[in-house]
Amino acid sequence: MVSQRTSEVPADGDTDTLTERLAGTWRLRSRIDVAASGERCDEPTLGADPLALVFFDRNGNFAAQFMKRDRSARSVVAPGGSNNTRAVDGYDAYFGSYVVDEEHGVVTTTLLGALAREHVGAVLTRAIRVNYALLGDPGSLRAGYSPQTYAQLFPISSASGSTSYNPQIVRSVTLPNGQQYQFQYNSYGELARVVLPTGGAYEYDHASGVTECDP
């Protein structure tokens, strides 16, 4: 799954730990389910593109809601997995507490409440590993882009013409099954390509920003 955090980064900028990066409100952007063989397949109870919100606060509480986008037809009834919950009529919801194992990148949740009664009290684990790199490192830039100096990117009198713009970026995210989403960027550090675990990819081109303001 690819998610986007919609809450703000802490004011002190401390996002070095998984605990800090996890806290906030997350909205599902895309979801890909794969069989044990690695072949892509649609999950029958929620569909390939459900609506979802997941919340993690800084006091160890979390909540999650998932809904099938089209609930006009009767949903398939399927049991939850050994490390997953079960949707009911195209909807799944649960809440509880969580702890983070920073060393191993594992989040363990304990469900205090769940839509499916058999999952109340369940303990679920998620291995979440975010891999960082620098923009100038090999593979960080999408084909067609190259490192640029501050003066080349931001042509103002105080910009350096000798120092390259080289921020830290998220290079990949490793899923619990070992597969990865890989990310590449343009010279400004804007996301330009997402390589999916299936081998497919999305590419993004950004329009130029505003250079002049009308009076």
* Mean per-residue pLDDT pooled into runs of 10, the chain (215 residues): 47 63 86 69 81 95 94 68 76 95 88 93 84 93 94 79 89 82 94 90 83 50
Quick one: pLDDT at residue 8?
41
Quick one: pLDDT at residue 15?
52
Quick one: pLDDT at residue 98?
96
Q: Which one-letter amino acid corresponds to residue 160?
A: S
- Shared domain for 96 and 134, answered yes or no, is no
Classify 19 as helix, strand or coil: helix
Task: Write the DSSP assignment of 60-91 as a string of letters.
Answer: SEEEEEEE-S--SSPPPP----TTS---BTTE
- Shared domain for 24 and 122, answered yes or no, is yes
- Shared domain for 116 and 147, answered yes or no, is no
For residue 210, being part of any structural domain is answered with no
Last residue of a domain, one of 127, 162, 195: 127
pTM: 0.61
Quick one: pLDDT at residue 14?
45
Last residue of a domain, one of 77, 95, 127: 127
- Shared domain for 121 and 36, answered yes or no, is yes
- Shared domain for 97 and 148, answered yes or no, is no
Last residue of a domain, one of 101, 127, 153: 127
Quick one: pLDDT at residue 12?
44
- Shared domain for 100 and 33, answered yes or no, is yes
Range of the domain at 167: 130-203
Residues in CB range of 193: below 8 A, 6 or more apart: 142, 183, 184, 185, 201, 202, 203, 204
> Looking at the 3D structure of the chain, how many domains does it have?
2
Q: How far apart are CA 184 and CA 134, in angstroms?
A: 11
